């Protein structure tokens, strides 16, 4: 069986990058795979969080999944902290991964900033927890944005090293070749790395201090329109061929966003808008973004007033996730030689 796992951090300001890079794929994959979608609250606390805000964010991400079309009955939606097997396997992986591997992680360097000595140990070990999130379900496919590629490669390295280090015990316990699959990243489509609307060299991010850098899933139509109109562009007309987007990061970003929202290729977008100026293209992009995101924002708002339903989804999802994770963690403990 092919099983999908992915997660989103409840750290506020869910944006178009999270949506196009990850959540849209979550919805598509439901048709062909068993899917597990997680609100990764244990990851969130690698940086300081206010407990009340965290609680609201966990419910907001859950609402965003559901409002976007994730079906929490057919598939599994839950928050990470409620299935302790994630943290248990993460410890095992802390002992499998090498310090040299983690030292190469660029996200740690970016998020820790200059004062690295003061970063939390959790921020450093984040990729081991992420590997555990995926592998505690022995998931095979992981839809993520481009920025998570390096962490996914690390997860594969950890799975492979575990399988090799414990090969004899894995075989003795009847698991054949290897216990963990090597999970494959699914990074596809025209918007795997959505950039800031203010600066085409920076990724769109929750933590950017400028709200004009991103379109939030909770933005209303007027706000979306304003942000798109103010988005940075260059003075040239849009090219008719994809090659013409080279070295024009802002133009390429907006074309990619349009293509992803409309489920088409960048080339197709350029066929329609190439040769024209940005104002006509931006007007069409506003219409498209409002049409696609408006209903999601409205449904998120409605679900915000129904915390009881959201919490019920999370409890039910955690129960089902735990049952799957538990079986695997028991097998891992046997493989490691822990006495029951
Ligand atoms: N700009 C982006 N373009 C495409 N995909 C993106 N993702 C995030 N930003 C973009 C994808 O969204 C999923 C969830 O991300 P996350 O919440 O786990 O954490 P993040 O990558 O740290 O998100 P941000 O917005 O970038 O937060 P900050 O500001 O804290 O750094 C992932 O699949 C991610 O790839």
How many helices (H) and strands (E) are present in the chain, helices listed first? 15, 5
SS3 annotation, 95-130: HHCCHHHHHCCHHHHHHHCCCHHHCCHHHHHHHHHH
CA of 164 to the centre of ligand 1 (A): 32
Report the chain (340 residues): mean pLDDT per 10 consecutive residues: 94 95 98 98 98 98 98 98 98 98 97 96 98 98 98 98 98 94 97 97 95 97 97 96 97 98 97 95 98 97 97 98 98 98
Q: What do you get for the CA distance between the two ends of the chain, in Å? A: 29
- Give the position of tokens 């939390």: 120
pLDDT of residue 176: 85
pLDDT of residue 177: 83
In contact, 154 and 97? CB cutoff 8 Å: yes
pLDDT of residue 73: 98
* Helix, strand, coil percent values for the chain (each to nearest 5): 60, 10, 35
Catalytic, 304? Answer no
CA distance 262 to 101: 39
| pTM for the whole structure | 0.97
Residues with beta carbon inside 6 Å of ligand 1? 8-9, 11, 17-18, 21-22, 144-145, 147-148, 192-194, 203-207
ipTM (interface predicted TM)? 0.96
Q: Which of 203, 227, 266, 292 is catalytic?
A: 203
Domains of the chain: 3-192+307-336 (3.40.50.620), 211-302 (1.10.240.10)
pLDDT of residue 13: 83
CA distance 135 to 121: 21
Helix residue spans in 98-245 (DSSP H): 99-103, 106-112, 121-135, 149-165, 167-172, 221-230
Nearest-5° Cα angle at 102, 12 to 42 = 30
């Amino acid at each position: 069986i092919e099983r999908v796992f992915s997660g989103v951090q409840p750290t506020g300001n869910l944006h178009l990058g999270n949506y196009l890079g990850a959540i849209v794929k979550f919805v598509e994959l439901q048709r062909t795979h068993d899917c597990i979608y997680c609100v990764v609250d244990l990851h969130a606390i690698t940086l300081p969080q206010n407990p009340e805000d965290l609680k609201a964010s966990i419910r907001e991400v859950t609402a965003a999944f559901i409002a976007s079309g994730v079906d929490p009955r057919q598939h599994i939606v839950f928050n990470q902290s409620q299935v302790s097997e994630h943290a248990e396997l993460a410890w095992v992986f802390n002992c499998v991964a090498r310090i040299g591997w983690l030292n190469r992680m660029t996200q740690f360097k970016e998020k820790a900033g200059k004062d690295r000595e003061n970063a939390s140990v959790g921020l450093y070990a984040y990729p081991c927890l992420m590997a555990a999130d995926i592998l505690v379900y022995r998931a095979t496919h992981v839809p993520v944005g481009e920025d998570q590629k390096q962490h996914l490669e690390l997860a594969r390295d950890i799975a492979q090293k575990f399988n090799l280090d414990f090969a004899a015990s894995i075989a003795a316990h009847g698991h054949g070749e290897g216990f963990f699959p090597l999970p494959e990243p699914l990074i596809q489509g025209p918007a795997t790395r959505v950039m800031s609307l203010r600066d085409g060299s920076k990724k769109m991010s929750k933590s950017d201090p400028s709200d004009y850098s991103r379109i939030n899933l909770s933005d209303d139509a007027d706000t979306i329109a304003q942000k798109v109109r103010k988005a940075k562009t260059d003075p040239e007309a849009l090219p008719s061929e994809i090659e013409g987007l080279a070295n024009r990061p802002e133009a390429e970003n907006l074309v990619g966003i349009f293509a992803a929202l409309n489920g088409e290729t960048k080339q197709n977008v350029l066929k329609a808008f190439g040769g024209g100026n940005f104002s006509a293209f931006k007007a069409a992009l506003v219409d498209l973004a409002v049409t696609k995101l408006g209903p999601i924002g409205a449904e998120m708002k409605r679900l915000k007033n129904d915390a009881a339903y959201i919490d019920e989804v999370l409890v039910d999802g955690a129960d089902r996730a735990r049952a799957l994770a538990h079986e695997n963690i028991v097998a891992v403990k046997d493989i490691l030689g822990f006495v029951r």
